[in-house]
Structure 1
Amino acid sequence: MKDGTGAGGPAPSRGDVYADYVKCYLEERAEVGPCRDPQLLNRAAQYLLSEAETGGTFTMFPFYQAVTERCEAQSDFRKHLSAFIRASEVLETLCVNLFLQPWKKEIRTLKTFTAPFVYCLEPVFSNSTIQSVLASIGYVPHTDPKQCEYRLSEDVNADKAMLVGFELLLARVECNHFLELQEDQLRPQEWLDVLQRRERAVKLTECTQNRTATEQTEDEEEKKTEEDKKEVAAAS
């Protein structure tokens, strides 16, 4: 979503929107489910419109990969996007539960034969994406495949789960934007091309960041080696 910033002054930053997202759930009698606050959704849309680089938008949830991996099998792209939004809401609800009430017995295990899994997640996400996202919020597959369930690990990080939930919110907002574009501008194939270009851009950004980090580490190691050599030479 990179078409402009819209009216009403400068767009909010990612940090501002995330802080508002967390604040919504810390209020008394907050609904334990996907965020539906109109003002927050609007601010999230403004942030996405203003974000120049796709690489910094989704750092926990692989949105562009996830939304494209099964869309080619769908002839109805609007139906696919709507299903993606519903699946994101299921995962976001899990994240919010882990943040607000991680002690609940009901969320300690996730059965893969339940309706949310079978009818919401599996038609939209690949098994690897489901497993990756669940792992990022603390769920691991049962060691016995016959159990058909994920279990919550003991070292679950509630703040990390909330960050994943926030990116799932951004994914929903982005999907709604694509639905609007399909109505006004983009044909299905054009929409798919846009998504694939953004997925490649994200991968390129990640590769560049990894390469930069590796080069920095190598430079630091070389510098340390040179300093060690100088110390040895001085001592002798």
Structure 2
Amino acid sequence: MSAGSLLAQYNSWLLSASAAGTDTPCTEKKTTDLVRQRILEEPHLHSILQNDAFSMISCGLQGKADLLLALQHLAYAFQTLEQAALHLYFTPWRKEFHVIKTYSGQYVHILEEAFPQDAIFQALKRLNYEPGDDGTSLKIRVLPAPQTLAIIALGFLAAQMECDILADLVSCSGSTLVNGTDLIQERSFWRGADACMERLQKLVLEPRTVSVAKSSTVVDSVIGASSGEVFYQPQLCDDYHEPWHKHVNGDCRMVSDHHAHQPENDRCHNKVPHLDFVLHDCVFLEQSLEQCCAPCQMLHSSSCSTVKVCMNKGHGVTLMTTFEKIQAAIDEQSRKHQLHCCLQPGQLPRYRCSECRQLHYISCEGLQWCQSKDHNVSMIMLDKDQRLWLQRSLTDLTLLCMNVPGHNIKC
């Protein structure tokens, strides 16, 4: 069953909920069971729904010792986000739902309990909420279309179901034995609960002890195979580059003076890219994603000449890990521009709307509508830039993950 079929089922529930006069999150067993079953077997559906589920859950689990409690908070937060989308869907005329106060209410007691602030902003941005001028609220200037709200609400429901799936896996494997990074990584790689549980049990019973195939390079410490016989075997802790025996189950003990003795270019070597990191043009031109420059907040291909400039400036350029590549591809998929129907084969885009994330040709009625709504519309002046924007929109981001061992997720 495709994501389109899930949306059809969710739309059917929306119709029945509207007829019944209810605007609460979906708890209908037929719909929730269907969503849970499909994403359990096909975790890449999260990418198709563009809900950033694994990225947001990973942020929510970071540094949490009690994974079950953290997942409960995350599930409740995703349900709250679904509720926000449904308020706008069912009652778009109610102005009180167009503003969210960031100093009280559900924002503080539910969303901030589960996510860091930038993750909350990223999620609510999908509903067109933007920071207000007063600095204490998020406001909607342009209300999303009803069908867009339905898709977003379904995405939040799917993320909630993902939290339930992860909670079941943690309950079976032991919340004190599995860390959040392993949990997300194994769940996003493997279809079905049985395969994922088998992998997690290997991590629990034989933590970081399975022999790794010989490799000629350091970056080949990430080994994978379709048979599932070997898995990620870091010799050093991802957070602090210290031996694993100095840490507890992958969660680093706090070392107050650690960074004082650590070279600048070694810090944050394997961190998952921040949401503000962007893909350099070289990634699309070379179809390669390998390097990260933290000071520039830029991700590069394997042979980008700009990286040499960064290194000459003393920037900490590092090789990206398996998880980082996948997350970067998924993040880019969620924010890439799409070709509007006005563009015919052979034509290059002349305008782009950063609000609708669409590329337009000259004299497009849709573009005129965007301009009338005061959207941020930019003219793409140079031919080379027009070609690059076209290539960005047509790039199959799964190609960026093709060299990731054992990876079969469609970004």
Interval containing the TM-score (normalised by the shorter chain): 0.7 to 0.9
Matches of 1:112 and 1:133, distance apart in 2: 14
Indicate conservation of the 8 Å contact 2:68/2:171, yes or no: no
Which residue is 2:6 aligned to? 17
The Cα offsets for residues 149-206 of structure 1, whole Å up to 9 and x where unpaired, read as 1111134333222211111111111111111112223555255313146354643644
Superposition deviation, residue 40 in structure 1: 0.7
Which residue is 2:147 aligned to? 159
Secondary structure in 2 aligned to 1:151?
strand
The Cα offsets for residues 6-48 of structure 1, whole Å up to 9 and x where unpaired, read as xxxxxx3221111111221112115212110111111112211
- Structure 2: segments with no counterpart, 5+ residues: 189-322, 337-386, 395-411
Indicate conservation of the 8 Å contact 2:39/2:46, yes or no: no
Amino acid corresponding to residue 14 of structure 1 in structure 2: A
C-alpha change, 1:181 and 1:104, in structure 2 (3 Å) is same
- Structure 1: segments with no counterpart, 5+ residues: 1-11, 221-236
**1:49 and 2:37 correspond:** no
Which residue is 2:125 aligned to? 135
The Cα offsets for residues 62-94 of structure 1, whole Å up to 9 and x where unpaired, read as 111111113132111000000001111111001
**1:111 and 2:235 correspond:** no
Which residue is 1:5 aligned to? none
Indicate conservation of the 8 Å contact 2:60/2:74, yes or no: no
Amino acid corresponding to residue 24 of structure 2 in structure 1: G
Secondary structure in 1 aligned to 2:178?
helix
Amino acid corresponding to residue 194 of structure 1 in structure 2: L
Secondary structure in 1 aligned to 2:32?
helix
Moved more, 105-114 or 171-180: 105-114
1:80 corresponds, among 56, 70, 74, to: 70
C-alpha change, 1:48 and 1:214, in structure 2 (3 Å) is farther
Work out the percentage of aligned pairs sharing the same amino acid. 19
C-alpha change, 1:117 and 1:215, in structure 2 (3 Å) is closer
C-alpha change, 1:99 and 1:207, in structure 2 (3 Å) is closer
Q: How does 1:168-179 map to 2 (within 5 A)?
A: 168-179=156-167
Higher relative contact order (CA closer than 8 Å, sequence separation 6+): 1
Q: CA RMSD in A?
A: 2.8
C-alpha change, 1:52 and 1:173, in structure 2 (3 Å) is closer
TM-score scaled to structure 2, two decimals? 0.45
Superposition deviation, residue 55 in structure 1: 6.4
1:192 corresponds, among 181, 194, 210, to: 181
Amino acid corresponding to residue 35 of structure 1 in structure 2: C
Superposition deviation, residue 49 in structure 1: 2.5
Matches of 1:201 and 1:93, distance apart in 2: 32
Superposition deviation, residue 126 in structure 1: 1.6
Indicate conservation of the 8 Å contact 2:129/2:141, yes or no: yes
Which residue is 1:9 aligned to? none
C-alpha change, 1:208 and 1:36, in structure 2 (3 Å) is closer
Matches of 2:164 and 2:331, distance apart in 1: 29
C-alpha change, 1:215 and 1:87, in structure 2 (3 Å) is closer
- Which 4+ runs in 1 deviate beyond 6 A? 207-210
Matches of 2:25 and 2:182, distance apart in 1: 29
Matches of 1:120 and 1:74, distance apart in 2: 16
C-alpha change, 1:86 and 1:13, in structure 2 (3 Å) is same
The Cα offsets for residues 72-125 of structure 1, whole Å up to 9 and x where unpaired, read as 321110000000011111110010111111111220211112220111001211
Flag the structure with larger Rg.
2
Count residues in correspondence. Answer: 203
Amino acid corresponding to residue 184 of structure 2 in structure 1: L
Indicate conservation of the 8 Å contact 1:67/1:84, yes or no: yes
Amino acid corresponding to residue 13 of structure 1 in structure 2: S
Indicate conservation of the 8 Å contact 1:178/1:191, yes or no: no
Amino acid corresponding to residue 27 of structure 2 in structure 1: R
Matches of 1:182 and 1:87, distance apart in 2: 19
C-alpha change, 1:215 and 1:150, in structure 2 (3 Å) is closer
Amino acid corresponding to residue 127 of structure 1 in structure 2: Q
C-alpha change, 1:93 and 1:215, in structure 2 (3 Å) is closer
